[in-house]
Structure 1
């Protein structure tokens, strides 16, 4: 089925469900009698979900993973639930918490891929042979020399048998990919401090969860996964990207910008351009309020910053 046809059907169904003429994600105040409070009968949209799913993903498998999630979305607007579900289906990711999640964000159902979901789309592209990602802890052995030859520039030996206390705190997340043909991408790293700065500045879900006191965003409940996802998204900029992967980035950015994700999922080319334009405008505006950046300071042998600055090397 053509995506344009699916897009029109979803827009119309979302409008009918929401009782409005558009598919905006208007955030409404809590009331005792709302359509969202009655729950969501997603089975009636089986045909739309199946049309959005890639051929290799079973609609029965998708719905089986989705049903346990729906009770957690009872407070969300029905239109946003439908759109989040169709968006998730569009990428062929299962909303089981492993490949993707559908969360309630201020009464709006939002689709988010996990870092496993990003890796899955990289594999599907046929451009990436394997992806390696992990967290380096204070008690691990590691070496990172970006100027060394590929294969000798990064080493990580996790101390898997050590207790959580002995292994220490996570220092940074890393990710790299081996490409078809044998080439390897550069190693992308994200320190814990960088992850927290990205979370604080760009995650509206985190900001709302902090303000409300609920502290139930993914940054609160699955920080390690979000840390790894940040490294993988950074690494994705260093490898050939499929149109599907670029669309996924645009869809997640749409959620942060308050734009209905379904529009980005069903019209990915326009969504990518709009997301890049919004990001450029946001960076331009932010640059006017920030002091000029300081010159980079080379630390040690090019390793990510560490809390214990008196240790020059982990062995």
Structure 2
């Protein structure tokens, strides 16, 4: 079935993957064959849901079944789901940004953010016990040091994402991780619609025209902690609970 649609999938793949479509198709086939649940769905629906998932995967420039794009059984169909790692890859691929920053806000932190007047959130981590994670925010940093739009994973958005996660209330769930890793991942997913993205690596691009005129630099005393910088090329992303 995958081989039958080789040409159609090849036309959707970005140039960097189109050079070796057979490798990409083999990854797709292997991802299904090693998972009995996926294979059962393919047999039941003649591969219809798998093809939809693979087209999305190809369009985004990911390899199916990788840490960037998962093939998951949802009900009676196969769902293709881009991971937060895949989102960051596409943000950095755009060539506009040098890094992506995501931070968790805890109950005892001092935090405020007005998108009309603030360039980035006013966030001061509490000393000692910071309490439980309550929200998160994320933004990308351009090459000149100016930030992109800041997106917030508010407590309401966190609650919604958590409710959709199977077993989120179990002690083993990454949602119970005291570092708030799932909160940061939610903020990254919120960021994607507000930044440049690309399915394959682009040359470095600097802001120009109206974008450059509107950009405002980070405050001089703004401290970016290494642990807050998410860069897939440096393997700095926590892998806990990716599928949640």
> What TM-score do the two structures reach when normalised by structure 1?
0.45
Structure 2 vs 1, CA of residues 46 and 176 (structure 1 numbering), >3 Å: closer, same or farther?
same
Match of 1:183 among 146, 158, 176: 146
Report how many aligned residue pairs link the two structures.
181
Structure 2 vs 1, CA of residues 156 and 102 (structure 1 numbering), >3 Å: closer, same or farther?
farther
Could you tell me how far 1:88 is from its partner in structure 2? 0.6
**CA distance in structure 1 between the partners assigned to 2:121 and 2:155 by the alignment:** 24
1:233 aligned to 2:233? no
Structure 2 vs 1, CA of residues 82 and 225 (structure 1 numbering), >3 Å: closer, same or farther?
farther
Structure 2 vs 1, CA of residues 89 and 186 (structure 1 numbering), >3 Å: closer, same or farther?
closer
Paired residue for 2:102? 133
Once the two structures are superposed, residues 91-142 of structure 1 have per-residue CA deviations (whole angstroms, 9 ceiling, x without a partner) of 111233421112111111111111111122222223333211244566xx85
1:52 aligned to 2:12? yes
**CA distance in structure 2 between the partners assigned to 1:158 and 1:88 by the alignment:** 43
Q: How does 1:81-92 map to 2 (within 5 A)?
A: 81-92=50-61
Once the two structures are superposed, residues 147-171 of structure 1 have per-residue CA deviations (whole angstroms, 9 ceiling, x without a partner) of 6965783356999xxxxxx987433
Greater RCO (Cα-Cα under 8 Å, separation 6 or more):
2
Match of 1:62 among 24, 28, 31: 24
Could you tell me how far 1:73 is from its partner in structure 2? 1.1
Match of 1:108 among 52, 64, 77: 77
Paired residue for 1:194? 157
CA contact (8 A) 1:115 1:226 kept: no
Match of 2:122 among 140, 144, 153: 153
Could you tell me how far 1:227 is from its partner in structure 2? 4.0
Say which is worse superposed, 228-237 or 71-80, in terms of deviation: 228-237
Paired residue for 1:173? 136
Return 5+ residue gaps in structure 1 as ranges.
1-40, 160-165, 210-214, 245-315
CA contact (8 A) 1:133 1:232 kept: yes
Paired residue for 2:208? none
Could you tell me how far 1:188 is from its partner in structure 2? 2.7
**CA distance in structure 2 between the partners assigned to 1:49 and 1:158 by the alignment:** 52
Paired residue for 2:205? none
**CA distance in structure 1 between the partners assigned to 2:113 and 2:145 by the alignment:** 19
Structure 2 vs 1, CA of residues 100 and 167 (structure 1 numbering), >3 Å: closer, same or farther?
farther
| Bigger radius of gyration | 1
Structure whose residues are more often helix by fraction:
1
CA contact (8 A) 2:141 2:148 kept: yes
**CA distance in structure 1 between the partners assigned to 2:25 and 2:173 by the alignment:** 24
